[in-house]
Structure 1
Amino acid sequence: MDKPRFRAALLHPRYWLTWLLFAFWFLLAQLPYRWQLGLGRGFGRLMLRLATSRRTIAERNLAQCFPELGKDDRADLLRRNFESNGIAIMETGMAWFRSARWLHKRFTFEGLEAVRALQAEGQGVLLMAMHFTTLELGAAMMGMSITLDGMYRPHKNPVYDYMQRKGRERHTGGGTVYQRKDVRGVLRALQRGRAVWYAPDQDYGIKQGVFAPFFGVPAATVTGTSRFARVGRAKVVPYLVTRLDDCSGYRLKVYEPIEQIPSGDELQDAILVNQFIEARIREAPEQYMWVHRRFKTRPEGAENVYEGVRKKKKKRKRVEK
């Protein structure tokens, strides 16, 4: 993709509120770190009260994935998860607006040398991320640590899209950002020995996936992991950023490659991916993005997990000149 380019159309009055929100976000990101965590928790508690649809989605997801928990324990996990989502808003501001030096102070690293060694050998790396609430901050830190390409879905608001790309690409170290549909571009990058950021743990429908168990529930799981590994001749290397319990910062951990992928069986590969992600979630369940409709696509005859939850209306795209 081309680099994000500022256009005069972005100054149209309908986008002034968006610019003001970004200015406010920038100012919040300059606050002391622990203040930002406290504000984030406050935002999260407010979201828990006001974002009723998201709250219901998270409640249904937790009920599906943790049926062994009692009502009070799930309610406590839900509260901590929304606090984590609120902190993620602040962490996104950190990732987009704070310096690399400021961010590095708050990170410890584990396993980065293995990725660098693979890249030095010219080996393509499919860097498998997971939708934890630290996702944005983790991608920024990984982009500052290795040469990294990314995958990207445009935002509907062109000002938000511009600022989001600016914020993300300042940490890619000159890497390329591919639109999510640009499969050929990603495959070529992997074949050239690049590391490409990729997150396979959302429901993109069954046309490009299979039903594989996730916490024992059939979940539409993309088969792109198998395809990228096989055609791109890449190693599947998971990594995760978790927030430390003492609020002192973060741990970025790169795991051993999942050598069994590709196995030649896309369902088996999807099962392995889901098993790995599930294991990481169980280590810090409050930090996963439970507000997404992970079980949106259902097997024939299965109940709708999100029955009665209001869906967002699709907006028409504006054509900017």
Structure 2
Amino acid sequence: MNNKERNDFDPKAYNPEFQWSFLAPKYWGTWLVVFLALPFALTPRKFREVIVTKIVKSQMKKGRGAIRRALINLLLCFPDKTEQERFEILQRNLITAGVFLTGFAAVSLRSKHWLSEKTVVTGLEHLELLQKNNQRAILLVPHSWAIDIPAILLASKGLPVSAMANSQKNLVFDWLMHKQRVQYGGRVYDRSGGIKPFIKSVKDGYLGYYLPDQDHGPEQSVFADFFATEKATLPALGKLAKVSRAKIVPVFASYNLETGQYEVDISPPIDDLSGHDESDARVMNQVVETFVEPRPEQYMWILKLLKTQRDGNEPYLRSDLYP
């Protein structure tokens, strides 16, 4: 389906618009960052890498905030690795993130042809087969730094994409991020509105974009193995597939620091969903493990992945794990 032949507007979708209040003094700092970031995104990758590396190494020495949280996540997930190995993974992770993010504005500044040339896609035939057979699909996309790339790329090729996201506190950044996500069409639903509009969009033929690895608390989750630990995991994957009558297709996005290419890996649809909460939660975590273990530098280890614990003892508050 060509995105020019459909109307992506949905009154239930999140559709922020420009407001004149965005020009108020409280947002001048935001606009300054935007206007500096746009030309910087077009500078050579190696130049950005040099600057990012210096900043990351300086911040790593402090070991506070998000860096401390990421180190705790890596400790619990990879206890067999040495402290130095985990430190090096995180340093590489943050450099990858910094180089990717400082260049991400180019996705909007350049053309869809540039994006296609910049991206290496593996496994696209799995989606093409589903499309050919008129089967619905929900993409299961773990939180890598390049997580937005597959959605924008597929939309640029005329495939309708529907996603859920949390709105940002900074209204200018929120508007700009939304504009970038739907620059080639598609729909984004605010998580606060529930999952029903998202399911309806999948039934309408949109490719669902589902993020499997955030911690939504004990009330909504079950505990399932996650690397060497366990994680509070949403158990609804099998039920989601059933109610939307869709195949679940794992997708992972990477940023190759050596080549500067975006890489999108699309796996065959998952066949072993049972509809049972615990087993389906484990299947979902296995998808994350399969993608992340060979390239841990791509994953958002700074997230509060393991905040919810069986004993209620949040690891990020424990000084015995990391001072």
When normalised by structure 1's length, the TM-score is 0.88
Residues 230-264 of structure 1 deviation map (CA, whole Å, 9 limit, x = unaligned) = 11111000111223363241321110001112x12
Kept after mapping to 1: 8 A contact 2:231/2:305: yes
Q: Which residues in structure 2 correspond to 1:199-210 (within 5 Å)?
A: 199-210=211-222
Structure 2 Cα separation of the partners of residues 139 and 41 of structure 1: 28
Greater RCO (Cα-Cα under 8 Å, separation 6 or more): 2
Query: Which of 138, 141, 157 is equivalent to 2:153?
Result: 141
Q: Which residues in structure 2 correspond to 1:1-321 (within 5 Å)?
A: 1=13, 3-49=15-61, 52-145=64-157, 146-170=159-183, 173-180=184-191, 181-244=193-256, 246-261=258-273, 263-299=274-310, 301=311, 303-307=313-317
Residues 284-313 of structure 1 deviation map (CA, whole Å, 9 limit, x = unaligned) = 0111111111110110x264311158xxxx
**SS of match in other structure, 2:65:** helix
Contiguous gaps of at least 5 residues in structure 2 = 1-12
Q: Percent identity of the aligned residues?
A: 29
- Report which stretch shifted further, 288-297 or 235-244: 235-244
Q: CA deviation at 1:81?
A: 1.6
Structure 1 Cα separation of the partners of residues 63 and 173 of structure 2: 21
Q: CA deviation at 1:276?
A: 1.7
When normalised by structure 2's length, the TM-score is 0.87
**SS of match in other structure, 1:135:** coil
| Residue type at the aligned position of 1:164 | M
**SS of match in other structure, 2:264:** strand
Structure 2 Cα separation of the partners of residues 203 and 2 of structure 1: 22
Kept after mapping to 1: 8 A contact 2:160/2:205: no
Kept after mapping to 1: 8 A contact 2:149/2:262: no
**SS of match in other structure, 1:133:** coil
Structure 2 Cα separation of the partners of residues 37 and 101 of structure 1: 25
| Residue type at the aligned position of 2:173 | Y
Kept after mapping to 1: 8 A contact 2:223/2:232: yes
**SS of match in other structure, 1:149:** strand
Structure 2 Cα separation of the partners of residues 158 and 51 of structure 1: 30
C-alpha distance 63-13 of structure 1, shift in aligned 2 (>3 A) = same
Contiguous gaps of at least 5 residues in structure 1 = 310-321
Structure 2 Cα separation of the partners of residues 121 and 178 of structure 1: 27
Kept after mapping to 1: 8 A contact 2:14/2:190: no
**Aligned match of 2:4:** none
